[in-house]
Amino acid sequence: MAQRTDVLLTGFDPFEREALNPSWEAVRALDGWQCGHATVHARRMPCVFGQAIEALAGAMDELQPRLVLCIGQAGGRAEITPERVAINIDDGRIADNAGRQPIDMPVVPGAPAAYFSTLPIKAMVRDLRAAGIPASVSNTAGTFVCNHLFYGLMHRIATHPAAGLRGGLIHIPYLPEQAARFPGAPSMSLATMVEALRIAVATALAVEKDVAETGGQLH
């Protein structure tokens, strides 16, 4: 009998006066989805510095997943963008949902300056593009709560190693109903985002060594 595998997908609460967050809308649509012998579990993260990492730790303690994909909103982007690197800095352009706005503060004092994703990000981009979904590797996850959670995840993986555990962050665009408030802003349908996450999960489960090919943006 094949070993059961648990996959943790996280999305965020809405923030900056938005009524919804596409990361949670897409993630919750996959709660309970079976990908081969793997089961996806969706968890909603607070868009709050500190609390987000605590919530993630609780979910990981509960589920003991083999794969963790944190999903975040990147309004203004037109593609699905797996992130390459998490940096050890909190620098809020705006306040989080608890009114916190750290400026030039470390996510984890004394920890490394950065961690690379352990997801097969190039293979994800390849498979997303093959499915007709716009995608590129991103080299900046920003310095808001998405990067904060990403760094917290990678720090935990680095300091509490578990056999086969991999993780990282993927940014997704606005939904059309959000972009309608920002003329000219790109968007992506929820159905396309959900399919993109299905592909990302399947690729991450199937690909152990990432491919060596271009996957970055043109600019």
Q: Which residues are catalytic?
A: 83, 146, 171
The DSSP secondary structure of 156-210, one letter per residue, reads HHHHS--TT-EEEEEEE-B-HHHHTTSTT--B--HHHHHHHHHHHHHHHHH-SS-
Coil, strand or helix: which one is 218? coil
Give the pair of three-digit tokens for residue 157: 């993986």
- Residue 129: how many CB atoms within 10 A of its CB? 15
| CA-CA-CA-CA torsion sign (211, 188, 182, 177) | negative
Residue tagged 């968890």 (tokens) = 43
